[in-house]
Copies of this chain bind each other. A is one copy, B any other.
Amino acid sequence: MCVDKVTRRSLIFGAAATAAAVATPAPAQAAPGRSGLQDLTHVVTPSFPAFEPGEEPSRRTATTVEKDGYYMQEWTILEHFGTHVDAPAHFTAGGRTSEELSLSELITPAVVIDIARRAAREPDTTVTVADLVAYERKHDRIPRNAAVLMFSGWAAKAGDAAAYRGTDSAGKLHFPGFSVDACEWLLTKRGIRSLGVDTLSIDPGISAGFETHLALTGADRYGVENLAGLDRIPRHGATLTVGLIPYLDGSGGQARVFARW
């Protein structure tokens, strides 16, 4: 199992391991003199799982080199497909829209909360306040304006929409997310900028009321969903860049997301 291997290798290599080498675990912390760059963005393809089946984008070939001299595609795409941002306006009436999020809000310190071992056993699990306290004890205090990113191991399932959604026989979804208590603790005690997840939603799949979305966007903060590669970045000390497309009146939108350290 990938998660166990990462954990075992972490014990052997510790912070000296780098994300650059093939199949190595993430360094626990950005170490002085060691730099890295990691893409956290899934390819935009109609075969990537949408939140609801049928919401996938469509594309058409608008022109070709052979016929027109140049090649172009046209996409019909929801703002919440693939690796994307939830702007405050997504769940909060009157909240700020995509083009109102400034670049300085989109480049922030990143911390990664690793719940992959637990999530492999319990897909309905959430990031809890206890996880955050344990993180701070092991690493460092979560800085102000941070992006707090859940690594659940879910990105590895993205090739299989049913597995990624965790749909059961009753049609309910099962994947991990942030508990609303953890979200509120991060907002009030740590003054964070955003939450990010490697799943379809910052709320767990079983959530009926989207409480974490409501708490986060109600506080004028944004979410980032469907992240990839969170196992390849330091748990502490990286900088996250969220290259959000500034759609007019956008409820969010596609983003090129990466980490540097």
Per the bound structure, the CA–CA distance linking A213 and B71 in Å amounts to 12
User: Which chain B residues lie closer than 8 Å to A92 at the CB level?
Assistant: 65
Partner of A65, one of B71, B78, B93, B250: B93
Interchain CB contact under 8 A, B247 and A39: no
> Within 8 Å CB of A246, what residues of B?
41-44, 256
Within residues 26 to 76 of chain A, which ones have a CB less than 8 A from any CB in chain B?
37, 39, 41-46, 59, 62, 65-66, 69-76
Chain A: interface secondary structure? mixed
Q: Chain B nearest CB: distance from A72 CB in Å?
A: 5
A90 touches B77 (CB 8 A): no
User: Taking A74-B77, A107-B37 as contacts, is the C-beta distance between A66 and B43 under 8 angstroms?
Assistant: no
Task: Choose from B39, B69, B75, B248 the contact partner of A79 (Cβ within 8 Å).
Answer: B75
Is the CB of A163 closer than 8 A to any CB of chain B?
no
The reply to whether B75 and A249 form a contact with Cβ atoms under 8 Å apart is: no
Q: Check: A149 CB closer than 8 A to any chain B CB.
A: no
Closest 3 CB pairs of A and B: A243-B243, A243-B256, A45-B248
